[in-house]
Amino acid sequence: MPSTVYAASHLLSYSFLFGTQIWHSFIGGIISFRVLPRAYFSALQRRLFPIYFSLQLILSLALLLTTPTSLKQLQPSKTYGFLLTVLATSFLNAVVAGPFITRTMDKRKEQEVFDGRSYDGRKLPGVTEGAERGGDKENEEVRVSDEMRTLNKKFGMWHGISSLFNLGSVVGTIGYGVLLADKINFD
């Protein structure tokens, strides 16, 4: 009975992890980005990503704790390599990259209000004379303040790092899935 519980826990954890990764990374996130206005997309992602990263972390830990003995004994370096990759990249996204990106988004929002312009230099709706700095005229060209340019650069860099961590996690999950599938016998 306990081995059946471990096996079921392991397979369900893997399935849930892989399904969540594929859905969020390649379907739900992309569709949301394409159809939602930026403010709504940002609000949605701000709430989803901490849950997503935490879920990746918890499920990868569950996989590590319930790894079948056959995989640990026959292919320990591959098994632990894939699972520790998923665990490490999930941890880095949950604890380092995710919170940094959120703080940078908050700072960009504050800077938008201060500049009277969006992150990409376009005038904010309803602003005719600029915000606290003043002097922006209705028909002036698009421009980005130095402060916003710095924040945009930080955001882009950390967003890219987070995406690489996420990709590493997905690849690790797929790699582990191949090892796991090799143990399934359909004879």
pLDDT in tens, 144-176: 999 999 999 999 999 999 999 999 999 999 999
User: Is the pLDDT reported for residue 69 higher than 90?
Assistant: no
Residue 29 lies in a domain: yes
pTM as predicted: 0.86
Structure tokens at 20: 């969540």
User: Is the pLDDT reported for residue 120 higher than 50?
Assistant: yes
Residue 69, helix vs strand vs coil? helix
Q: How many domains does the chain have?
A: 1
Residue 37 lies in a domain: yes
CA trace torsion 104, 107, 113, 115 (10° rounding): -90
Residue 74: count of CB within 10 angstroms of its CB: 13
User: Please, are residues 180 and 146 in contact by the beta-carbon 8 Å criterion?
Assistant: no
User: Is the pLDDT reported for residue 59 higher than 60?
Assistant: yes
Place of tokens 């005229």: 137
Question: What is the mean pLDDT of the segment spanning 40-51?
Answer: 95
**How much is the pLDDT for 105?**
94
Domain span at residue 96? Answer: 2-182
**How much is the pLDDT for 127?**
67
**How much is the pLDDT for 133?**
53
Question: What is the mean pLDDT of the segment spanning 33-62?
Answer: 95
Q: How far is CA 16 from CA 56, 120, 129, in A?
A: 9, 37, 51
**How much is the pLDDT for 140?**
58
| Contacts for 174 with CB less than 8 Å, ≥ 6 apart | 18
Kindly report the backbone phi and psi dihedral angles of residue 41, in degrees, each rounded to the nearest multiple of 5, phi listed first.
-60, -45
User: Please, are residues 155 and 104 in contact by the beta-carbon 8 Å criterion?
Assistant: yes
**How much is the pLDDT for 129?**
47
Question: What is the mean pLDDT of the segment spanning 45-73?
Answer: 94
Q: How far is CA 1 from CA 13, 62, 63, 100, 116, in A?
A: 18, 18, 19, 44, 64
- Nearest-CA neighbor of 68 among 27, 8, 118, 131? 8
Residue 102, helix vs strand vs coil? helix
Residue 187 lies in a domain: no
pLDDT digits (tens, 9 = 90+) for 86-119: 999 999 999 999 999 999 999 999 999 898 888 8
Residue 117, helix vs strand vs coil? strand
